[in-house]
């Protein structure tokens, strides 16, 4: 995987974004809290983390399915906060989403052709014969064929349905695709096919991906850089090789320790870090560092102060007191 150069164009900037949900009785779910990162044009940024850590919420906030509670999101240099009318429509065309469950996200009463052409209709990009031709071209692009246009989603396998979802996203010539666990519901044998199709399309069309996933080995394979989330926070972000070779955050270390290593000798020596306890509730997250209740390296300062999000090596960001000199000095003083 190629190293991402620091000077390449930023297509997306997420700055101190929060998304909190009211869930009754005055309670607030802090699903995403103070998350900041950038995505470079043409790269794939992978997002990983346990269930409930806020991956889908940040994806949905970026694409404006949700309004951010706080912070700013800039797409191609412009804030997306107050997009309206024509500009919002253009944004909806440039940024598309692919979902985890390709069956639930495809209307069962519509033919595959109409599903794929929905964006063409909304954005008035093609009519009549041109529309039909575009649908056939899109079907072929994703490895399906012309005859599939008149069939319904239930007639297809999971892998084929995900290809239909990809064709639908591609119909409007997007620049940025958020793929929310696009392969998690598929058989392992099919997963690589869909990922390889996505990689091929990226090369051909210069697409940028935000690729959300559970499976760390697949994320490494597709991503140029990987971000790790825990309980609504981004805790580490780096070039994927760097992250896998030199994880800095104790949570990343634990996640990676669970990934089998292909080399049998190294695999034998692999030590699993088992985290104690469960992920706390995002309604009442721990003070200071949100990971402290499960962190094998937690210090006194971790309960008192929120660690800052810092670039501790070139392009390697982490949020942990262990890498902040000021914090280590304060910790000494607390003893």
Binding site for ligand ATP (CB under 6 A): 21, 23, 29, 31, 49, 51-57, 282
298 binds, among Mg ion, ligand ATP, ligand SF4, none (CB under 5 to 8 A by kind): ligand SF4
* Interaction pattern, residues 283-322, with ligand SF4; x per rule: CB under 6 A: ------x-xx--x-xxx--x----x------------xxx
State the nearest-atom distance from the C-beta of 30 to ligand ATP, in Å: 8
299 binds, among ligand ATP, Mg ion, ligand SF4, none (CB under 5 to 8 A by kind): ligand SF4
Q: Which does 153 bind (CB under 5 to 8 A by kind): ligand SF4, ligand ATP, Mg ion, none?
A: none
Task: Check residue 55 for interaction with ligand SF4 (CB under 6 A).
Answer: no
Using CB under 5 A as the criterion, which residues of the chain lie in contact with Mg ion when the complex forms?
Answer: 56
Give CA angle at 251 (11, 21), nearest 5°.
60
| 232-256 CB burial, b ≥16 within 10 A, e <16 | bbbbbbbbbebbbeebbbbbbebbb
Q: Which is nearer to ligand ATP, 56 or 327 (CB)?
A: 56
From 179, 150, 139, select the one nearest 55 (Cα to Cα): 179
Nearest to 98 by CA among 6, 202, 27: 202
Torsion, Cα of 155, 157, 162, 167 (10° steps)? -50
11 or 299: CB nearest ligand SF4? 299
Inter-residue contact 174 to 207 (CB < 8 Å)? yes
Nearest one of 103, 18, 86 to 58, comparing CA atoms: 18
Residues 6+ apart with CB under 8 A from 191: 183, 215, 218
> Which residue from 186, 72, 66 is spatially nearest to 165, judged by alpha carbons?
186
What are the backbone dihedrals phi and psi of residue 306, each rounded to the nearest 5 degrees, phi first? -75, 125
- Contacted entry of ligand ATP, ligand SF4, Mg ion, none for residue 320, CB cut-off 5 to 8 Å set by kind: ligand SF4
Binding mask 212-251 for ligand SF4 (x = CB under 6 A): -------------------------------------xx-
We find the least distance from the C-beta atom of residue 194 to ligand ATP, in angstroms, to be 18
98 backbone φψ class: left, alpha, beta (φ>0; ψ -120 to 50): beta
Q: How far is the CB of 100 from Mg ion (least distance, A)?
A: 7
Can you give the binding site for ligand SF4, defined by CB under 6 A?
249-250, 289, 291-292, 295, 297-299, 302, 307, 320-322
């Amino acid at each position: 995987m190629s190293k991402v150069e620091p000077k390449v164009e930023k297509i997306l900037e997420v700055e101190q974004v929060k998304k909190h949900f009211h869930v009754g009785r005055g309670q607030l779910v802090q699903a995403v809290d103070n998350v900041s990162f950038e995505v470079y044009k043409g790269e794939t940024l992978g997002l990983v983390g346990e269930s409930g850590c806020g991956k889908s919420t940040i994806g949905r906030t970026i694409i404006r399915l949700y309004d951010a509670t706080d912070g700013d999101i800039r797409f191609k240099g412009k804030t997306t906060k107050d997009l309206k009318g024509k500009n919002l429509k253009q944004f909806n065309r440039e940024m598309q989403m692919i979902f985890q469950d390709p069956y639930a996200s495809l209307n069962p009463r519509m033919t595959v052709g109409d599903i794929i052409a929905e964006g063409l209709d909304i954005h008035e990009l093609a009519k009549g014969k041109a529309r039909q031709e575009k649908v056939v071209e899109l079907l072929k692009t994703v490895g399906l064929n012309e005859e599939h246009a008149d069939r319904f989603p239930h007639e297809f396998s999971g892998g084929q349905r995900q290809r239909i979802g990809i064709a639908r996203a591609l119909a409007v010539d997007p620049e940025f695709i958020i793929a929310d666990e696009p392969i998690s519901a598929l058989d392992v044998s099919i997963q690589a096919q869909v990922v390889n199709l996505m990689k091929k399309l990226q090369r051909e069309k210069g697409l940028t991906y935000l690729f959300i996933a559970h499976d760390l080995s697949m994320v490494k394979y597709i991503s140029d850089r990987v971000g790790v989330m825990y309980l609504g926070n981004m805790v580490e972000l780096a070039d994927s090789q760097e992250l896998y070779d030199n994880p800095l955050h104790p949570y990343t270390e634990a996640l990676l320790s669970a990934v089998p290593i292909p080399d049998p000798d190294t695999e034998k020596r692999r030590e699993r870090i088992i985290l104690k306890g469960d992920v706390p509730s995002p309604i009442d997250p721990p003070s200071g560092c949100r990971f402290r209740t499960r962190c094998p390296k937690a210090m006194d300062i971790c309960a008192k102060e929120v660690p800052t999000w810092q670039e501790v090596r070139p392009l390697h960001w982490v949020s942990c007191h262990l890498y902040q000199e000021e914090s280590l000095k304060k910790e000494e003083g607390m003893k």
